[in-house]
Amino acid sequence: MATTPGSDTERSLFGEILDWMLAPLLFVWPLSIAFTHYFANNVANFPYDQALREHVAAIARQVKLVGGKPVLTLPASARALLRADETDSVYFHVVTQDGKLLAGDKELPMPSELPGDASLSGEIYLRDAEYNGQDLRFAYTWLADPTLPRERWIVVEVAETTEKRTQLANKIVASVILPQFVIIPLAVMLVWFGLSRGLRPLTRLRQTIEAREPADLSPIATRRVPEELEPLVEAFNAMLERMKKNVEAQQRFVADAAHQMRTPLTGLKTQAQFAIRETDPEALRHALRQIAVGVDRAGRLVNQLLTLARTEGGEPAQQRHEPLDLAALIREVVEDWVMVAIDKGIDLGYEAEGDAMIMGNAFLLREMAKNLIDNALRYTPGGGHVTCRILNNQVSVVLEVEDDGIGISEEQAELVFERFYRVDDAMTEGSGLGLAIVQEIAMQHGSRASLRPNPQGRGAVARVVFAAWQAPPPPPPEPDDFSELYRQSPPIGT
């Protein structure tokens, strides 16, 4: 089915395959007719050429040399029999090479060249020429005697028009071509039927997809799928799996947002109603400050929910991993949080030795570091210490965030990465999403985050272990011509 000009719709696969199968056939068919005609002419010429040869040989046997002079004894009945052809006109002559006619048609053209070797006398040759506006087929030979001069050699020629040959060739061509007018349409019908049967799995696949419920994202079974369609179905199943993850992430985001935003919004509404009824300026300012604090908390919750949704959704920009120096990246994040730590009276430190190359995504790793530092600062009282540390043993790179805050128990360490779980039962500000974001990012980097009691004393230590990245070795340099020549040549004087 052809497309209209300017349409972006591709042609049907059925029509495309049919075109590519029939177009070569339509191209080859005229060639087959031309070849058939050529070979039919060759086949038609063969029996009539044999008859011409026999006529030439029969006439040549009637020529005798008597006293060095040629004598032809050809009865009138033989000449009549020679010309007795109902379809073609037959001509012949017997003539010396110098033009002396012994018998036959005088104006019949002679061969343009005759071999000069008398030992080839008696060989019969064929040629095509024109005579009286007619195309003739010639068979000729010459009779030579080494004792006679060349101009007295005798040429015997028999020629006939080509009507019988043309008729026979046309019959051969017709016997080959006419059945093709039946065979080719039949072949087209068979091809059409075969394509319809062959493309039936595509129709079944389309019907299977159309019959699905809108919410059904389960993979399509490949049990009855042809081998050629399996990669397509597998790619479609992979897309369904990605869509399923995105839908689940969106559903979790909606559920989490609906659950977590209800409380701060209710608090904001309560504070706003209280502020509307309040007449004391000082109490009104207090209510407005509470509203501002509630807005900040709600804004932070929304930002964390959006970060978690983007992380779980796997946006294309966040899926690209590349070699990066984790030590330099964590140092930049620590510098951004120094002023926050100073405002809280907490000593925020950074420790690292040299580069720490890993394969990762810079945007996600910054989000991870920000949440780990924010979590440590929230659970560390004023005067405490928080240290970000990078450990590198050439096999793995470890990110540690150590604090001396309220600490954590072994039981709580297994639960802190769940969403909305909080260690101190809401004694500090927070939504319980920071460590969930950290765990999601760690899993996207082939790792898992852990939070354990600080073995040095109070507080806790958060750890994420990454596989170290090693740069591939450079390819060996190609030797230049002179160094290779010098290496292979023996030293001078040896």
Ranges of each domain in the chain: 10-198, 238-314, 320-467
* DSSP of 38-52: HHHHHHHHHHHHHHH
Q: In this structure, what token pair is assigned to residue 261?
A: 């935003």
- pLDDT on residue 348: 92
Q: In this structure, what token pair is assigned to residue 449?
A: 């985050």
- pLDDT on residue 432: 63
Residue at token pair 């394969």: 359
CATH fourth-level superfamily of 320-467: Histidine kinase-like ATPase, C-terminal domain (3.30.565.10)
Element (H, E) at 390: strand 385-392
Rounded CA-CA distance 83/146 in Å is: 33
Element (H, E) at 372: helix 362-378
> What backbone torsions phi and psi does residue 300 show, to the nearest 5 degrees?
-65, -40
> CA 360: distance to chain centroid?
29
Rounded CA-CA distance 203/445 in Å is: 41
Rounded CA-CA distance 384/407 in Å is: 12
Cβ-count burial of 94 within 10 angstroms (0-12 exposed, 13-18 middle, 19+ buried)?
A: buried
Single pTM value for the model: 0.47
Cβ atoms 371, 437 nearer than 8 A: yes
DSSP 3-state assignment of 88? coil
Rounded CA-CA distance 257/305 in Å is: 7
- pLDDT on residue 58: 86
* DSSP of 379-445: TS-TT-EEEEEEEE-SSEEEEEEEE-SS---HHHHTTTTSTT--TTTTSSS--S-HHHHHHHHHHHT
Element (H, E) at 254: helix 230-277
- pLDDT on residue 494: 41
Please, what sign has the CA dihedral across residues 166, 172, 174, 180?
Answer: negative
Rounded CA-CA distance 277/431 in Å is: 30
Q: In this structure, what token pair is assigned to residue 101?
A: 């006619």
Angle of helix 163-198 relative to helix 13-60, nearest 10 degrees, comes to 160
Angle of helix 362-378 relative to helix 434-444, nearest 10 degrees, comes to 150
Q: In this structure, what token pair is assigned to residue 214?
A: 């809108």
Q: What one-character DSSP code corresponds to residue 110? A: P
CATH fold of the domain at 238-314 = Helix Hairpins (1.10.287)
Largest distance between two CA atoms of the chain: 162
- pLDDT on residue 2: 44
All residue ranges of the chain with pLDDT < 50 are 1-9, 119, 316-317, 425-426, 482, 485-486, 492-494
